[in-house]
Structure 1
């Protein structure tokens, strides 16, 4: 009997040793800071969403540079990492590349996706998209109690990302080639990582926009609930 149980346990043990890990990373937030004292829950949510959206854009830039190495070479940088560092600094300091000809947000996005665009298209496209997102958030990347966000502008920003992803996938340059190599499905490869990353940005924007549209209504409901609670949920004397 013991031998039989041992034989049954061996395959189970082998399966446990070869099973995939049950976690893939961990939920992350930002380190605590003094600035949180002047942030509401909504401010905090918007700040974290902006952080993650900009991180997604930088990840897209890295993926695009890997598939389109000629682009970072056009930037005059020493390598892909240097081109990414230059892009991140430009977004942080609001210093647009000369290739965008002084254009901002959606005008800059349109220029970066023109078939005859000259220059580092990855740099121009990602910078312009980041500028559009920041503009839709009132020109800020961190928010406090004095800041207000317009849900419709965030909704519009999400639709702009959808349009940009579609143009990137379908538009061709003057030579009939894709503007940038991104997602690819063929007999040997199925790569939709670009679409997934664009989808994350769109999802965060739409969720924040929906949350903001309900904010005032939920505040009113909370006030009514507090009144009802005050009437029906009173502590009773025990002595």
Structure 2
């Protein structure tokens, strides 16, 4: 009886792996058979993060039209398509563009704040931030039972968003103007919608890190340092 139960479990596991391996071409209801409750939660978080990133990209280009004009053939929608690709993709390719000299992830973010960089800073920043976040989700936006995420990478990516925001608000050119414009403030207040977007993104990553840590029963190594010492954390 015990042998039969183990054999049945083995057969189920093999069938499940085969099911998940072919999930990309299957209808969504069938793909859902290969998911646990946590996988559905991962799906929601990954897709919501993409929604926030698309909105951020659009808002940055509206606020920084001079950056978009550096590529005469580009539009906001074409840039979004370049970075985020088809809506229903399960696996997401690494974001590498000749326009940025092949740099991506944190290196592309750093390039966007390099005063000597003459290219599209918004493109460099959003490509870099998007690639860093994709790595925290193993370049996936749909997850199955055999998939796993790293809670430390998720946590580090949340801190990197905060570091990105600090640089975004403080890096200026030789004339004291922001390298990339964000919130428009006036004496009576102003637009703080960028702050709300970044807060949502940090909350998504922190929540996902806690969920994965609970699932794997592993701890998260937290960091504490001053703003002036901010250095981007690794997200392998």
- TM-score under structure 2 normalisation? 0.72
When residues 215 and 103 of structure 1 are mapped into structure 2, their CA distance, relative to the original with a 3 A threshold, is same
How many residue pairs match? The answer is: 187
Distance (Å, rounded) in 2 between the aligned partners of 1:95 and 1:142: 18
Aligned counterpart in structure 2 of residue 42 of structure 1, from 38, 49, 55: 38
Q: CA deviation at 1:193?
A: 0.4
Q: CA deviation at 1:151?
A: 0.6
Alignment partner of 1:33: what SS? helix
Distance (Å, rounded) in 1 between the aligned partners of 2:28 and 2:183: 37
Distance (Å, rounded) in 2 between the aligned partners of 1:43 and 1:101: 36
Q: CA deviation at 1:84?
A: 2.9
2:149 corresponding residue in structure 1 = 149
Post-superposition CA distance 1:7-47 (Å, at most 9, x none): xxxxxxxxxxxxxxxxxxxxxxxx95322111111111112
Distance (Å, rounded) in 1 between the aligned partners of 2:147 and 2:110: 29
Higher share of residues assigned helix: 1
Distance (Å, rounded) in 2 between the aligned partners of 1:118 and 1:78: 16
> Any residues of structure 2 matched to 1:89-128 within 5 Å, and which?
89=85, 93-128=93-128
When residues 138 and 85 of structure 1 are mapped into structure 2, their CA distance, relative to the original with a 3 A threshold, is closer
Distance (Å, rounded) in 1 between the aligned partners of 2:139 and 2:28: 23
Give the conservation status (yes or no) of the 8 Å contact 2:43–2:141.
yes
- TM-score under structure 1 normalisation? 0.71
Alignment partner of 1:74: what SS? coil
The alignment status of 1:60 with 2:50, answered yes or no, reads no
> Any residues of structure 2 matched to 1:1-239 within 5 Å, and which?
32-89=28-85, 93-216=93-216
Root-mean-square deviation (CA, aligned residues, Å) is 2.3
Structure 1 residue ranges without an equivalent (≥5): 1-30, 218-239
Structure 2 residue ranges without an equivalent (≥5): 1-26, 218-236
2:20 corresponding residue in structure 1 = none
- The structure number with the bigger radius of gyration is 1
Q: CA deviation at 1:95?
A: 4.2
Distance (Å, rounded) in 2 between the aligned partners of 1:212 and 1:65: 34
